[in-house]
Amino acid sequence: MKPGKAAAIFTAAALGAGAWHLATNAAPPAFDDAWYLETSFRLFHALKRGLPEFVSAYAAAFRIKAPLLSVLPLPLYALFGPGERVAPWVNLAALGATCAAVFAAGRALWPAHPRRDSIAALAAAITAVIPLLYGLSRVFFVEPVLAALVAAGAWRVASAARAGRREGERLGLLLGLGLLAKVLFPVYLAGPVWLRRRELRPLVKRALLVAVPVAATWYAFNLPYVLGFAWSAGFGRIASDYGGAGGLASRVFSYALLLLSALSWPLSAAMLGVAAAAAVRRGRLDDGSRLALAWAAPLALFATGVNQEIRFAAPALPALALLAARAAMSFDSRRARAAAAAALLGTGSAVFIRQTFVVPASGALAWCGAPSADPGWDRGALVEAAAAGGGTTAAVALEHPKLNANNLSSLAAARGLELRFVSLGYAQTSLEAALIRLKDKDADRLILVSGVPDAELPPYLNRVNGDIARAVASGRLRARELGRVSLAPGVAAAVYGIGR
């Protein structure tokens, strides 16, 4: 069987398992994924009302995050209706696109290698069983789409020396869409672009003529906001909430996460072992390997930041798959090549099976785990209670993975309600600031939740909940109870009318 066909069958099996996971998983969205979902649903309902409303909603979407991910599921909503379990199918397709782009990139990186098809096929198959990539493909985060665009970009950059007249337009479209996926898109391709700068120079003008108008559809209205947020999320205040211990300890922690969680220790060990065995006999790196290393370089860059959020690594991980495949196919002995490929795919597949079918999410690698049959707390009843009587903005005094302003807003938006939910303020520490936020947001509902063990609460997100409850009890914050909702055994929410 030809390598490409074998890789296609292997990848299709992995994607089929991902489809089963999506079809059977009932877990609700949590924080950022729920925010992407809310925006996606509101864009869909705006489009149903007419193109002008959609354009207005698109231009104002997020402000601090690029909106492409939230746009992509709109055709699915037209077919199946807006739903929190509908949108993630976009990311499963994105994982398939990433594998295809990795295959194409492998052929472009080593065009003269006698086993280039085997390298490309093995790299695509490894990509399909990288835990962080398939884990993220089952939730609604931007990284799967970003990884697909980065892989496609690396493929076209590697092909620049053999590019045709229309290559500038292709690169420009990828750059424009990449920026609409995430403002960091150019960082992932900076290394490969630098290595191919001579070949790419004649294409720059054509590329920019396409990229700038595409990206400007959103950045023209939001550039200052998104740049400020990107800095804060990478190195500033927001990053500190997701950071490690700082200094050397933080760097060690970052690379440990990469090896043990993003890749898993069995796959990491196989990659390192194959690479070490190949390095003993290969000596100098070839041109394709240098470009793949440049693609992987952001992994080192992100380790210097304060934010240790592992999702940032995802678009660079296919480069490691390519390097591992190149090392495996470097042996002269056919038996040695087969053994190296079996080690890589065997360890990856074993982890994939455990992380897809066996290990529960609570004990799994990041974003992985078997599907859950638990739909979470009764958010629907709480949305109805907050909307009753014409509620428009509800403040939620709780930030919990199963209940927070983001996933309540997501559900309200899916139902076509104008009702919005807001938090008391990101990582809020001051009662006075929380009270001011209620006024600034013109909140007319307040939700207090009781019965949640403190051990389950992210501590830095729930520091003023008690103060707000005491302000209601003392009369400092005027509030009238409108109803109570049972969310889960032992957990209840009280809905208050406040403000106007």
Segment 431-460, tens digit of pLDDT: 999 999 999 999 999 999 999 998 888 878
Q: Running DSSP on this structure, what letter comes out for residue 491?
A: E
- 3-state secondary structure (DSSP) of residue 13: helix
Where is pLDDT greater, at 5 or 218?
Answer: 218
The fold adopted by the segment(s) 379-497 is D-Maltodextrin-Binding Protein; domain 2 (3.40.190)
Q: Token pair of 117, please?
A: 């098809």
Mean pLDDT along residues 6-20: 95
% of residues, the chain, pLDDT over 70: 93
SS3 category, 394: strand
Q: What is the rounded distance in angstroms from the CA atom of residue 78 to the CA atom of residue 81?
A: 6
CA 300 to chain centre: 19
Q: Which residues contact 338 (CB under 8 A, 6 or more apart)?
A: none
State whether residue 263 is helix, strand or coil. Answer: coil
Instruction: Report yes or no: 104 and 155 within 8 Å, Cβ to Cβ.
Output: yes
pLDDT of residue 500: 65
Helix (H) or strand (E) run with residue 101 in it:
helix 89-109
Q: H helices within 110-166, ranges in order?
A: 116-128, 131-136, 143-158
349-373 confidence digits (pLDDT tens):
999 999 999 999 989 999 999 999 9
Which pLDDT tens digit goes with each residue over 78-94? Answer: 999 999 999 999 999 99
Strand 393-396 and strand 445-450: pairing?
parallel
Q: Which amino acid is at 134?
A: Y
pLDDT band at 335 (very low <50, low <70, confident <90, very high): very high
Token code pair at residue 402: 């199963």
Residue 325 neighbours by CB distance under 10 Å? 30
Instruction: Please tell me the predicted confidence (pLDDT) of residue 1.
Output: 72
Contacts 24+ apart (CB under 8 A), 205-208: 205/168, 206/167, 206/168, 206/169, 206/172, 207/168, 207/169, 207/171, 207/172, 207/175, 208/172
Counts for the chain of helices (H) and strands (E), in that order: 24, 5
pLDDT band at 224 (very low <50, low <70, confident <90, very high): confident
Q: What is the mean pLDDT of residues 38-60?
A: 97
| Rounded Cα–Cα distance for residues 157 and 163 (Å) | 9
CB 482 within 8 A of CB 385: yes
Judged by DSSP in three states, 25 sits in coil
**Side-chain-side CA neighbours of residue 328 (13 Å):** 27
pLDDT digits (tens, 9 = 90+) for 172-198: 999 999 999 999 999 999 999 999 999
> H or E segment at 229?
helix 204-235
The single-letter code of the amino acid at 392 is T
Contacts 24+ apart (CB under 8 A), 7-16: 7/99, 7/103, 7/120, 7/121, 7/122, 7/124, 7/125, 10/125, 10/128, 10/345, 11/96, 11/99, 11/124, 11/125, 11/128, 14/128, 14/129, 14/134, 14/352, 15/92, 15/95, 15/96, 15/128
- Cα(246)–Cα(195) distance, integer angstroms: 32
H/E stretch holding 480 reads strand 480-488
pTM, to two decimals: 0.93
Give residue 283's pLDDT.
66
What residues contact 163, with CB distance under 8 A and at least 6 apart?
156, 199, 203
**Tokens read off for 313:** 């690594």
Round to whole Å and give the CA distance between 123 and 288. Answer: 13
Domain residue spans in the chain? Answer: 3-363, 379-497
Beta bridge partners of 493: 449, 485
Q: Cα-atom radius of gyration of the chain, to the nearest Å?
A: 24
